[in-house]
Amino acid sequence: MDSLSGQVAWVTGAGSGIGEAVAEKLAELGATVVLTGRRRELLDAVAARIVEAGGSAWVRTGDLSRAASAERIVAAIDRKFGRLDIVVNNAGMNVLERSWQQLSAASVDAVVGANLSSAFYCSIAALPMMRRAGGGLLIHTSSWAGRFVSRLAGPTYIAAKHAVVAMSHSLNMEEFVNGIRSTVICPAEVATPILDRRPVPVSAEDRARMLQPRDLAALVAHVATAPAHVCVNEVLISPTWNRSYLGQGTPPIAAPARAASSAKKAGRRAATPAKTRRR
């Protein structure tokens, strides 16, 4: 199958997990894949597998939470290939500190930079090439947390991923006149290395029931191979066994001692029968 033959696809966060699987799938479909992430050794390993399988891959490292990195990589793509057909904004991360009591300015900046700013910077950098070509496709990895607020992912990640959803829809509102399409994908839990940065450890059994990177790669391939007149605006996807329905994985809230004491007193009062008044 070579339905993307001749096209150039830029995949961010391509060194592992969803990005790795997506890059390999798009290369299998015939696209030349540009791989970006922070760790060169991971990207080189993915590129080697793609080339060994008969595909084409090019590695460009960079910290995409910095606008200059996105601009530099797109300029290099333009010089080398003269086109950019698909951008998969998949770079992202989370931190262990996921409650308001633990938040710091530094952790907020890191999560927003990796998940939201990077998607903006890459889109801004890529759009001029796509406008020049009269078309293009942007695919953004948001999250179940980009549609549903819970304590599992933490306030910063949730806010950033909600913003990615809004960003994608706003792209379609303006760029459709240039033949450019934007798709945002909101997956529930996916068995990727990011699970290792959970406050509550995830068991092997639970990981096996989750969405797998190959599932997201197949979805991205479906979107990428749709006819140019078709825009898949948003996809909400989850495993059949969706732990969020059970509230699993969410860390408990430690109530302040004063609040706990008040709750106990209220419970005792509720349990004591009211005295009958004498008339």
Residues 6+ apart with CB under 8 A from 278: none
Query: Residue 118 has which token pair?
Result: 């990077």
DSSP state of 249: T
Please tell me the distance from the alpha carbon of residue 141 to that of residue 191, in angstroms, as a whole number. Answer: 15
Distance of CA 54 to the CA centre of its chain: 28
Helix (H) or strand (E) holding 22: helix 17-28
Q: Which of 178, 177, 167 minimizes the C-alpha distance to 233? A: 167
Confidence band for 279, pLDDT divided at 50, 70 and 90:
very low
Confidence band for 114, pLDDT divided at 50, 70 and 90:
very high
For residue 270, the model assigns a pLDDT of 54
Give me the residue spans of the domains in the chain: 8-252
Please name the CATH architecture into which domain 8-252 falls.
3-Layer(aba) Sandwich (3.40)
pTM listed for this prediction: 0.88
Contact between 239 and 212 under an 8 Å Cβ cutoff? The reply is no
Please tell me the distance from the alpha carbon of residue 143 to that of residue 146, in angstroms, as a whole number. Answer: 5
For residue 257, the model assigns a pLDDT of 64
Average the pLDDT over 199-223 and give the result: 93
Place of tokens 């299998």: 28
| Active-site amino acid positions | 157
Average the pLDDT over 238-267 and give the result: 74
- pLDDT of 33-47, one tens digit each? 999 999 999 999 999
- Examine the pLDDT at 255 and tell me if it is beyond 80: no
- Residue 178 exposed, middle or buried by CB count within 10 Å (0-12, 13-18, 19+): middle
Contact between 107 and 156 under an 8 Å Cβ cutoff? The reply is yes
For residue 261, the model assigns a pLDDT of 57
What is the chain's alpha carbon radius of gyration, rounded to the nearest angstrom? 23
- CA torsion 79→38→118→9, rounded to 10°? 40
- Examine the pLDDT at 193 and tell me if it is beyond 90: no
